[in-house]
Amino acid sequence: MNTAIFDSSVEILHGRSNPMIDPHMHIWGWEIPVYLFLGGLVAGMMVLVPLLELRTGQRSRGLQHSPLLAAVLLSLGMFALLLDLEYPTHLYRFYSTFQPTSPMSWGSWLLMLVYPALIAAWLGGLSDDTRGRLPAAARSLFTLADRFRGPVLWATLALGVGLGTYTGLLLGTMAARVQWNTAVLPALFLTSGLSTGAALLMLLPAEAERKALLVRWDSLAIVVELGLLLTMLLGFATGGAASRVAADALLSGQMAPWFWSFVVVAGLLVPLGLNQVELRRHLPMTLAAPLLVLLGGLALRVILVSAGQDISLASLH
């Protein structure tokens, strides 16, 4: 039987009946997984595109508009997040203060730095032909972008790492949700973002040398991601009662068929196998591997967000 304690400003409900929160949380819909997916995808692009240029020493004609594409995708993710907010008009309050102990505050201000970095990376990466078709007033911007090209690339890379890590921290700080209460989550989301970022870049008209590098980096990211998933599952399985429930949800519970089919097999193992066949036999890259990686990256976030809302510490007592 539920009881309540009242005073002039506080209402405390107990007895396993807090609507939309306990025992199951039903606050976050499709918008949050989409936001986390697009944020990780953009983070991967922000890391890999500068790495390609630093590795080859040349700008990529085929990827010259990728920073602008990243900014558009991030805006779509932000729009999805805006749709999830109960009071969208209060968004400005994130930027009226800075809370050092709040990952959400860090993430909000980080996003403010990402857009200028992407625009600067885009301007500096444009080919001479593209620059010639733009207004003459933009020439001073090109000169400035070229002069600071090195720092811009490194800043974009660092912000990409921060953005990819933040998407995992956003969930990982909620200790009461046992599915998210793991230190592996930030590294897992960052690695998944690198893999999905590489997959999207492979779909763009990049040069053959760069596509080969992207396939190798994507394969490496997939291997690391598989290792992080295994580490997370072992941590759950060898933990306390709450952690074992979190493991069962992915190993044998309601989420297990979706997790193993869409994330592990279709999203990781099959693309890894296709990548290795293409590399070893010098075959043209197919669309199957990058598309499966993108599907698996989205499925990972949908499944983890859903599982985290279904299982809480309070619901296990």
In terms of Cα–Cα distance, which of 298, 69, 55 is closest to 189? 298
**CA–CA distance, 69 with 65 (Å, rounded to integer):** 6
Cβ-contact 55, 207 below 8 angstroms: no
pLDDT at position 47 is 97
**CA–CA distance, 130 with 147 (Å, rounded to integer):** 18
Whether omega before 23 lies within 30 degrees of 0, making that bond cis, reads yes
Cβ-contact 236, 244 below 8 angstroms: yes
CA-CA-CA-CA torsion for 104, 105, 107, 111, nearest 10 degrees?
140
Q: Supply the pTM of this predicted model.
A: 0.83
The letter for the amino acid at 232 is M
Is 218's pLDDT higher than 70? yes
The letter for the amino acid at 152 is V
User: pLDDT tens, 257-298?
Assistant: 999 999 999 999 999 999 999 888 877 778 999 999 999 999
User: pLDDT tens, 34-68?
Assistant: 999 999 999 999 999 999 999 988 888 889 999 99
Spans of all domains in the chain? 29-176, 177-196+218-317
**CA–CA distance, 211 with 213 (Å, rounded to integer):** 5
Mean pLDDT within 175-197: 88
Could you confirm whether domain 29-176 is CATH 1.10.357.140?
no
SS (H, E, C) 190-243: HHHHHHHHHHHHHCCCCCHHHHHHHHHHHHHHHHHHHHHHHHHHHHHHCCCHHH
